[in-house]
Structure 1
Amino acid sequence: MAPPNEQIVLLTDGAASLLAAKTATSILRYRGENVVGVLDRSRAGQTTNQAFGVGGDTPIIASLSDAPDATTLTIGIAPPGGRVPDEWRPILIEAAQRGMKLVSGLHDFLCDDEEIAAAAKASGAVIHDVRRNRERDLAKAVGVRDDCLRILTVGQDCSIGKMLTALELTKGLKDRGVDAKFIATGQTGIMIEGDGCPVDCVVSDFVNGAVEKQILANQHHEVLVVEGQATISHPAYSCVSAGLLHGSTPHGMVMVYEVGRENVHGVDHVPLQPLPKLIAAYETLAALRMPSKVIAIAMNSRNVSEEEAAVERERVRAELGLPVADPLRHGVGELVDAIEALRAEVIAPAEAAQ
């Protein structure tokens, strides 16, 4: 886990949208007590709540000098391709010269940048490239404990709320006294949880095995909630989604979708697959390893009104016959009910057979 006294500055300088700054907004939401500021010269003087709708009165600052006690600089964006913006290099070098820990979830590793690495070496600063890994484990299908329920969040698209849903489900289960563990599979989730595996930066042959290793290491918990990535229908990222599905062998899945989104994020000419078709595909693909069903729907209704969200919720409930809720707008009670019902169905017979 991350140090409880860590003082973080999040770097989002020039990020044009909430989606681009999703790493920052997620850390503000789930580790806000550690964030002392967000460095974004275009919004300096605002609060993060004004700019991003989360984080309360956390200030947006114009330079590292505005947060002299900060210990860590964390890159707060997740851009396509994962490259470090050229205009950020002076800020990163300055942070390294100050001896601050540098945390990056980008595909461009800071430790491979000669100038940044030299500044860090001179000051003794630590560079943590979250996506850097040497996973080389093949999935062995070794079998997992029958008394550990596994839930995977899956999605209609990428950047749609699978991590947030998994975190909220984990919290909802814990609030009911269940020993639940969030399994992070992306850079932001790892920054929040303090452990996990960045599956989109694992060599493709080893994705299943890397995920399986996370399951085996954490199956002493009662429920594992695994963070999903992308979707099996995405034209670019489907391989990661399939590997995650087969590596985690979930007992059940929670499908996440966004109200009003019609086309694939980043591939605007490709329409999204309808939820019934995609659910059937997920269940068929999962069954090649282990039978699994979608047990609930998490809807992202951020772009519609309260009234529109209520109408959409009832429409999808009627169409799919499943519990439906927006984790932020409605809470996750209905979704956690579905997990607990599945747990009673799956775990009780297994325990009785022992």
Structure 2
Amino acid sequence: MNTVVPAVEKTSVPGLDIINEYRRIAIAVGDDAPLSNSKTAISLLRYRGEHCLAVIDPAHQGKTTQHLYGVGGSTPVVGSLSEVDSPDALFIGISPPGGQMPESLSRVIGAGVDRGLDIVSGLHEFLVENEDFCQVAQRSGSRLIDVRRNQHRQTARCAEFRSGCLRIHAVGQDCSVGKMVTMLELERGLQQRQRDAKFLATGQTGIMIKGNGVPVDCVVSDFVNGAVEELVLQHEQHEILLIEGQGSIVHPAFSAVTLGLLHGCAPQGLILCYEAARPHVKAMPHVPLKSLERYRELYEQLASERSPAEVIGVAMNGRNLSEAEADIEKEQVQERLGLPVCDVYRDGPDLLVDAVLNLRGRLFA
């Protein structure tokens, strides 16, 4: 039977490796979560779909995840945990603003803890600080794993990374434009070409997919750069590192995290990610987005204050465009910026894979 692991031990980076061991995952989103908050569930279905048994969502029970989210095939959407056959863990599949736990989700978690399931959560509201969950977990053997809880307390030291380690970082015009998916698809594409590429997660969803990383939006601000720098140092033996991005450099709420990431990983190459036809900052209709040219200028300038960097490609999220509209958009952006542009959801990552390998050839010839 599992035992409750002390908070510091289970939330350190090595302790997160246990996430990779789960092979029968139930995903809980509660019964009042808007689909826009379910990106963790969608990403788990996309990248760990073979391990996902069902999504628990009473408001949409009876559907498949393919019908609800566009991914996951015939994976069922069910009304309760009791309908899921022998799961070994319950993953929280929502990322609501502020990271708070809805009451409906709390009830599902309580049922999972009572059954002795391990609970994996990326919320800011930590499971291990819920006295009721902890008391039941001590009896049932459930392990409460908060992927955002961390003990990073090291400032950056402007370390020199291994020569020959190419660092590629996703940067964005805004939140939720596909930075994580772009890096995961790049990893897959590079590995298919027999390159030693490694995705480094910097958010809760990436950590829940890969079982390692740094939850930068929950690291004390003084230590964000240092935590990211240390993450890179831990993996610099790889040929190519693909560092997930967060937020935007001019986001009114999240710019500090974005800059800490940028300076902590000191990338040589940047992938600029954006959503076509998005007019304003997400959830802030009074804040217009800037031009892609301006984002490129800002990212290159600020990154290069730490170490020389350049934007080498553009990842377009064309979910609001038809296929014909997307083709026109890509052509126009490529002409404006003089960079390869692709929609990894529709096209795959090959153009960006080529851009990464071209940069590696130029830097390490």
Distance 1:185 1:111 in 2: 21
Contact 1:253 1:294 in 2 (8 A): yes
CA offset digits 1:231-254 (Å, max 9, x no partner): 101000000000000000000100
Distance 1:193 1:329 in 2: 23
Alignment partner of 2:48: what SS?
helix
- Do residues 288 (structure 1) and 319 (structure 2) align? no
Measured after TM superposition, the shift of residue 5 of structure 1 is 5.0
Does the C-alpha gap of structure 1 residues 82 and 22 become closer, same or farther in structure 2, counting only changes over 3 Å? same
Contact 2:31 2:104 in 1 (8 A): no
* Residue 145 (structure 1) aligned to one of 139, 159, 162: 162
* Residue 264 (structure 1) aligned to one of 260, 276, 281: 281
Q: Give the corresponding residue for 1:34.
A: 51
* Residue 102 (structure 1) aligned to one of 116, 119, 126: 119
Q: Give the corresponding residue for 1:252.
A: 269
Q: Give the corresponding residue for 2:235.
A: 218
Aligned residues: 348
* Residue 187 (structure 2) aligned to one of 162, 170, 177: 170
Distance 1:129 1:341 in 2: 39
Amino acid at match of 1:22: K
Tell me the TM-score normalized by structure 1.
0.97
Measured after TM superposition, the shift of residue 4 of structure 1 is 4.7
Contact 1:147 1:347 in 2 (8 A): yes
Contact 2:156 2:229 in 1 (8 A): yes
Contact 1:4 1:34 in 2 (8 A): no
Distance 1:132 1:309 in 2: 39
CA offset digits 1:146-200 (Å, max 9, x no partner): 1100000000001110000010011111010100000000000001111001000
Contact 1:174 1:180 in 2 (8 A): yes
Does the C-alpha gap of structure 1 residues 91 and 281 become closer, same or farther in structure 2, counting only changes over 3 Å? same
- Do residues 52 (structure 1) and 69 (structure 2) align? yes
Contact 1:148 1:347 in 2 (8 A): no
Measured after TM superposition, the shift of residue 18 of structure 1 is 3.5
Give me the CA root mean square deviation. 1.0
Moved more, 38-47 or 1-10: 1-10
Identical residues among aligned pairs (%): 49
Tell me the TM-score normalized by structure 2.
0.94
- Do residues 198 (structure 1) and 199 (structure 2) align? no
5+ residue gaps, structure 1, are: 349-354
Q: Give the corresponding residue for 2:258.
A: 241
Contact 2:22 2:89 in 1 (8 A): no
Q: Give the corresponding residue for 2:225.
A: 208
Amino acid at match of 1:344: G
5+ residue gaps, structure 2, are: 1-16
